[in-house]
Chain A
Amino acid sequence: MFGLLLLLCLPPALGAVDFSDYENGYQVRLSIKTALGDEAYEWNESEMFLFRATIAFAMRQFTKTEAYGIDNIVVRNQTQRVSFWFIVTSPENPAQTVEKETVEKAIRRSRNRINNAFLLTDKTLEFLGIPPTLAAPISPATPPWLIVFGVVIGLVCAGIVALLTSSVVKRRRGNKAKQLPEEEDPAKGTDKGITCEDRNGVYNQGFSDDDRLTQL
């Protein structure tokens, strides 16, 4: 903790740096511990060597020549964060830097390869100024929610049909059962002395079997 504080007191550690050399340069920021947790590797010179090699590779892929070498990638201002600036010099003329846009296009094209070389992602290996390419949203042919909807509505409709047919069947069976005893009914009816024409009877709404209320 105190060692780090001492390091912070060193002047070049702050972000306010003279940009005049670096107008064609990019700042890079790595967050290795955030990405890998316990399996984080140490950032050392060999890792920096690999980084320069991957940038050179990206330039080669983009320009489709084999002109670029490790020496064309110049790195400055390394910090504890693990952040640094780099510029790409032209292979023909080492004093001249390659245009920012060219570098950006090269890196965007090979971004996936660069990320994988370091086991990092767009968020943990940041090139400040180069926005990450957002992944295209996967849109399947049928939205998944329609499939679930189809299943649910199918089950429900099947249930409705089943219930309706069962009640139709019950009613038909009830009607058939009613027809059989009705043939014997006239004989039964005369025995009891009831001679109404309508077997159902008429509901007399004026009569309520609760005589308390009629006291009104």
Chain B
Amino acid sequence: MSGDVVKSMSAETQMEEPKATEERPKWDNKVQYLLTCIGFAVGLGNVWRFPYLCQKYGGGAFLIPYLIALVFEGLPLLHLELAIGQRLRTGSIGVWNSISPYLGGVGLASMTVSFLVGLFYNTILAWILWYFFHSFQNPLPWENCPVNVNRTGYITECEKSTPVNYFWYRETLNITPNIETGGSLQWWLVLCLATAWCLVYVCFIRGIETIGKAVYVTATFPYLVLTIFLIRALTLPGASLGLTYLFTPQWETLKNPKVWLDAATQIFFSLSLAFGGLIAFSSYNPQKNDCQRDALIVGCVNSATSIYASIPIFAILGFKATENFNACLGENILALTNAFNIGDQNITVENYDDWFTHLNETEPSLVMDLHLRNCNLQTFLDQSASGTGLAFIVFTEAVIKMPASQVWAVLFFVMLFSLGLSSMFGNLEGVLTPLLDLNLVPKWMPKEVFTGLMCVVSFAVALIFTLGSGNYWLEIFNNYVGSLPLLIIAFFEITAVVFIYGINRFSDDIKWMTGQRPNLYWQATWRVISPLMLLVVFLAYIVVEAGEKPSYSAWNPNYVDFPLADVHAYPEWVYSICVLLSAVPCLLIPLAALYRLAQLLMKYMADRRTPNPYGNDSYVSDL
């Protein structure tokens, strides 16, 4: 009955007030919502982490642990987040507060992690912009070493490593030899970071109203570029080599437990779970929406994109390996031709082996003196990389060997930028929606100003990553913020919904929203399999990480074995920062619970002292 009064009251207020302050923003249509969720899930990791894992863990065989993790861990958690957000219609803090006031900390932790991840993620976008700005030159700046001051030769640092490495470490990052050396702000990176944040702000300015329009481009453009690259890559020489290398299954790797751990963590981070962004997005949905189908669509599209992206990436890596192999042989051929004064172009790549065996028989000492490089195609193929190494070193090197390099470079970097931008929307929504729901935004401040303020604050804090040592700090944030806290948050999420909210109540909610009760698969995974898997992954992660001494590779031109990486251990103060970064989001969960408890105790004591006849103990404020 109270419901009827409410409905009529709200109807009246809506008729009199054209601006309904309590009406929640909503998606223009279902497509916008799905594209936004897919854009959030499909990010840089699909392009530069999954192919690397595939190649590292035995090609086609890796798909098995990956798909098992998707079915038993990824999809259930995804469905859970979308359903809970849609049902309770608030952001992450509101959702967990509604389930139990003692669980508000889970939402706070999500918000903190989203904010910290957003900081370094946008810095990667700034780097991508830097490369994009430089792709409009002929020749590309990472193609040749720059000439030194006297014009007698090339800069030594570049000659010892490669032009691509030099451009990345020196001209882009201007990296310091170790993390203790802070360096100064690199003005060019500050400019790129400002541009990146401005671009994010333009799309994020009115929350989902503008995000929903932006994702039509940012979520679909990468697929177009991937297809173009696929067609181009398959016509390159050596492409089939790369593909067979990628997909040939090596079943023995499945016995290594680390493979299963990496598959589970990859699916988890790839779907962007526990950030609070998915909860925020689905909270803007109408309540009667089929969230089960949405979860299946987003999860399967994300995995399919990973697999689809790895095809052109590996075709291009196979091409690069072939080119490097031919260049290596070319050097040997030139050395032999010059030493033995054989006619020009008489030794070719095809008859090299015959010539080599013959010359080795007739003049072995002379051949030995030449110190010919051992050119092995497999070694070149094994030179894989993930993360920024793949995009800014390996791929840029491949691009300069392709005809019309500028076009491919521009396309590649725009694709990476739109992949990252759509993921940034989720990170920022994971921060904005809870703040809006908690009414922490002053009423007089328009949303545009608040989002602008968020961008300015994030830009200011992210300036750390534009220092000389910024890349080392980014690696720290990436490893310590974007990993362990998320696992803990997800574990609390699933236990909160299953055991505190009640799985039966949750299933009833879903029945009300979608029209059918979740079937046995969902029940089994939510109740038992997913929490168990999360616990196992979490423990295994701790064991693996605790076993290895944390260290990092530095780029030090004065290192004895330069250009090999100079591996250092983290100094004590840096290591304590790492631990803080992991611990603070997790500690927010018990701290918030304790705070609630303290509030309750204080209220109880106050009531005991002065009993209030009008006090309504069944009312607990949401604040």
Taking beta carbons and an 8 Å cutoff, which residues of A are in contact with B? 4-5, 8, 13-15, 29-34, 79-83, 131, 133-137, 144-146, 148-149, 152-153, 156-157, 159-160, 163-164, 167, 171, 174, 177-178, 181, 185, 188, 192, 194, 199-201, 203, 205-207, 209, 211-214
Contacts and interface: CB of A to CB of B under 8 A. Distances in A.
A63 B335 CA distance: 36
Given A133-B151, A178-B19, A207 B6 contact: yes
B341 A13 contact: yes
14 contacts: A5-B358, A14-B366, A15-B340, A82-B344, A144-B136, A145-B134, A152-B133, A152-B199, A156-B202, A160-B201, A163-B202, A163-B205, A163-B206, A214-B618
B152 interface: yes
Contacts of A206: 619, 621
A148 B152 contact: no
A205 B22 CA distance: 11
B16 interface: yes
Contacts of A34: 344-345
Interface in B113-163: 129-130, 132-134, 136-137, 146-147, 151-154
Contacts of A30: 344
Contacts of B346: 4
B448 A209 contact: no
Tier of interface size on chain B: 35 or more
Shortest Cβ-Cβ A-B pairs, 3 listed: A79-B341, A145-B133, A33-B345
Contacts of A146: 133
B437 to A, nearest CB: 11
A200 B147 contact: no
A167 B451 CA distance: 14
Given A134-B151, A167-B448, A206-B619, A15 B345 contact: no
Contacts of A13: 340-341
B343 interface: yes
B98 interface: yes
Interface string B357-368: 010001100100
B383 interface: no
Interface string B68-87: 00000000000000000000
A27 B137 CA distance: 38
A5 B340 CA distance: 11
A172 B12 CA distance: 24
Contact of B341 (A15, A33, A134, A203): A15
A31 B344 CA distance: 6
B198 A156 contact: yes
B2 A156 contact: no
A153 B198 contact: yes
Given A33-B344, A81-B344, A149-B195, A171 B18 contact: no
B338 A164 contact: no
Interface string B189-226: 00110110011011001100010000000000000000
A171 B444 CA distance: 12
A9 to B, nearest CB: 9
B204 to A, nearest CB: 11
B3 interface: yes
Given A133-B151, A199-B17, 9 more contacts: A34-B345, A80-B342, A82-B344, A149-B191, A153-B195, A174-B18, A185-B16, A188-B16, A211-B3
Given A148-B136, A211-B2, A32 B344 contact: yes
Contacts of A207: 6
A200 B17 contact: yes
Contacts of A31: 344-345
Given A33-B345, A156-B195, A131 B152 contact: yes
B466 to A, nearest CB: 15
B209 to A, nearest CB: 10
Contacts of B339: 15
Contacts of A167: 206, 446, 448
B546 interface: no
B553 interface: no
Nearest to B15: A188
Nearest to B351: A1
A185 B194 CA distance: 48
A174 B18 CA distance: 8
A208 to B, nearest CB: 8
B344 A203 contact: no
B623 interface: yes
A152 B210 CA distance: 19
Given A160-B201, A171-B446, A174-B19, A136 B147 contact: yes
A30 B338 CA distance: 10
Given A13-B341, A83-B341, A203 B19 contact: no
